[in-house]
């Protein structure tokens, strides 16, 4: 089971109301390489991955939910004081018409989240390479968003998340090596 903790993994501050930035950021909320996809991808793969890497998938999957909460906090803070007019100007008119200021799991283009964003092949190496690719794509997305953002407070939190993608990718690469080592060891004896 999971225990909720009443704290963010890393502080999230925003300089000012900025719904346009929120529109881009939602890519990491309900997008293909976003935090929801990441959490569900890893936790779902745990059941068929070799025992040696179940712990890693559990822990990274859990950390992704903490990142999801940080992204939600960013979107919430960037939009909570926006008027309908400001939402419209930011390209969030369609979102406002359907959801008011509520958050929703869709990507920056407005497409709703779908399970097709998640791969589960059952082959440990294929699944781990999928995870490495997902982390690298998420890292790149954070970089593109940072490139478009002029909010120094927000960028500080985004840089933290970008760095985490690098660590996760690194750990998944180590997991691949662990499985390869195990496979070769079994062939020798």
The residue from 35, 63, 95, 130 that is catalytic is 35
Residue 165 annotated among the catalytic residues of the structure: yes
Q: Does 90 bind other proteins (CB under 8 A)?
A: no
Only one residue has tokens 């660590």, namely: 167
CB nearer other proteins, residue 74 or residue 92 = 74
* Residue of 27, 63, 64, 130 with catalytic role: 64
Dist. CA 124–CA 120, nearest whole Å: 9
- What count of other Cβ atoms lies within 10 Å of the Cβ of residue 99? 12
Is 85 among the annotated ligand-binding positions? no
Find out whether 89 is annotated in a ligand binding site.
no
Task: Identify whether the C-beta of residue 162 lies closer than 8 Å to the C-beta of residue 143.
Answer: yes
Which residues touch 159 (CB under 8 Å, ≥6 apart)? 142, 146
Q: Which of 17, 69, 88, 159 binds other proteins (CB under 8 A)?
A: 69
64 is catalytic: yes
Binding flag, residue 152, other proteins (CB under 8 A) = no
Q: Does 100 help bind other proteins (rule: CB under 8 A)? A: no
The CA distance from 157 to 79, in Å, is: 17
The rounded distance, in Å, linking the Cα atoms of 67 and 38 is 10
Longest dimension (CA), the chain: 70
User: Which residue among 63, 127, 130, 165 contacts other proteins (CB under 8 A)?
Assistant: 63
Does 185 help bind other proteins (rule: CB under 8 A)? no
CA atoms within 13 A on the CB side of 155: 10
Considering 27, 63, 130, 168, which one is annotated as catalytic?
168
At residue 58, φ and ψ (nearest 5 deg) are -60, -45
Determine, following the binding rule CB under 8 A, whether residue 4 of this chain makes contact with other proteins: yes
**Does the annotation place 100 within a ligand binding site?**
no
Binding site for other proteins (CB under 8 A): 3-12, 53, 55-56, 59-60, 63, 69, 72-73, 76-77, 167-168, 171, 174-175, 178
Q: Which residues line the annotated binding site for Mn(2+)? A: 35, 64, 67, 135, 168
């Amino acid at each position: 089971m999971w225990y909720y903790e009443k704290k963010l993994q890393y502080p999230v501050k925003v300089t000012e109301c900025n719904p346009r930035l929120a529109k881009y950021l939602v890519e990491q909320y309900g997008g293909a390489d976003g935090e929801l996809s990441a959490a569900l991808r890893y936790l779902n793969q745990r059941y068929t991955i070799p025992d040696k890497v179940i712990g890693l998938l559990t822990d990274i999957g859990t950390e992704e939910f903490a990142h999801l909460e940080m992204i939600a906090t960013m979107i919430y803070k960037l939009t909570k004081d926006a008027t309908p007019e400001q939402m419209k100007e930011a390209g969030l008119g369609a979102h406002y018409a359907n959801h008011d200021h509520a958050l929703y799991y869709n990507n920056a283009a407005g497409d709703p989240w779908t399970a097709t964003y998640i791969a589960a092949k059952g082959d440990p190496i294929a699944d781990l390479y999928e995870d490495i690719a997902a982390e690298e794509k998420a890292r790149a997305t954070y970089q593109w968003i940072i490139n478009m953002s002029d909010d120094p407070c927000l960028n500080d939190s985004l840089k933290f998340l970008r760095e985490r993608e690098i660590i996760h990718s690194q750990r998944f690469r180590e997991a691949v090596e662990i499985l390869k080592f195990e496979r070769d060891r079994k062939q020798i004896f």
